[in-house]
Amino acid sequence: MSDLQPHFEDGMWIDFVRGLAPIEAARQLEAHLEAACPECVETHAAWSRILDLTRRELSYRVPEDTVRVVHAAFALRHKTPMLARLAQAAVRIFDSFEEPLPAGIRGGPTSARQLLHTAGNFLIDLRLEPEGRVEHLTGQILSTGAEGVTSGAGVVLVHGREKLVAQTIANSFGEFQMEFERQNELQLYVETASNEIIAIGLPDINLSAE
């Protein structure tokens, strides 16, 4: 600090809030704070907040369950070339587009399509909603077996056999959603917490009619 520069530099305040400032410098800084210099009071407060945030970040540990879920979900994408061989094919048991319209109701524009699939102890409920060239997919994975195996399930959407289109992670209720460009030859793969992989073929659409 000098007559031309009446405020201490940031480096000195950093050392001060960390308790590393030399004794004489620390005394000068304390005296300056006691003099209530507004600018230096704010500088000291700012570096104190940063130090506190840094210490809290260092002490933070991500829950092991969260780490496991993320690793499991994103590991699924690396299995893409093998998914067709590893997965159990789901069976479609309901398609809203195959349901007859009520008497007196005329067909209208393309709307949301509801699909229900089964595979072993799992039910996979899907809803497809087109919006121009984009498809919105929401789904829920349900289990009739072990509780919690659908939480954090990895979900990937693949075009053809290997091209990754989208990926996400199911929440604690087995729910997930994703958006992607409308196209055919799409395959949805779900890997549960019990390491079961389920393959679901999404229905092709008439792109030439758009």
pLDDT digits 0-9 by tens, 134-149:
999 999 999 887 766 7
pTM reported for the whole predicted model: 0.61
Predicted local distance difference test score (pLDDT) of residue 103: 53
Contact 156, 77 (CB under 8 A): yes
Listed by start position, the domains of the chain span 10-59, 64-209
Helix (H) or strand (E) segment spanning residue 157: strand 154-159
CB atoms within 10 A of CB 152: 22
pLDDT given at position 1: 43
Q: Which residues of the chain fall below pLDDT 50?
A: 1-5
Listed in sequence order, the residues at least 6 apart from 121 whose beta carbon sits closer than 8 Å to its beta carbon are 143, 144, 145
Superfamily of domain 64-209: Immunoglobulins (2.60.40.10)
Contact 178, 170 (CB under 8 A): no
Q: Residue 152: which region, alpha, beta or left (left: phi > 0; alpha: psi -120 to 50)?
A: left
- Residues β-bridged to residue 190: 155, 198
pLDDT of the residue at 41? 79
Task: Calculate the alpha carbon distances from 113 to 116, 135, 136 in Å.
Answer: 10, 11, 11
Question: Residue by residue, what is the 3-state secondary structure of 90-115?
Answer: CEEEEEHHHCCCCCCCCCCCCCCEEE
CA distance 199 to 84: 8
Q: Whole-angstrom Cα distance, residue 107 to residue 149?
A: 40
Distance CA 159, CA 182 (A): 11
3-state secondary structure (DSSP) of residue 72: helix
End-to-end CA distance of the chain: 71
d(CA 40, CA 171): 47
The 3-state DSSP class for residue 128 equals strand
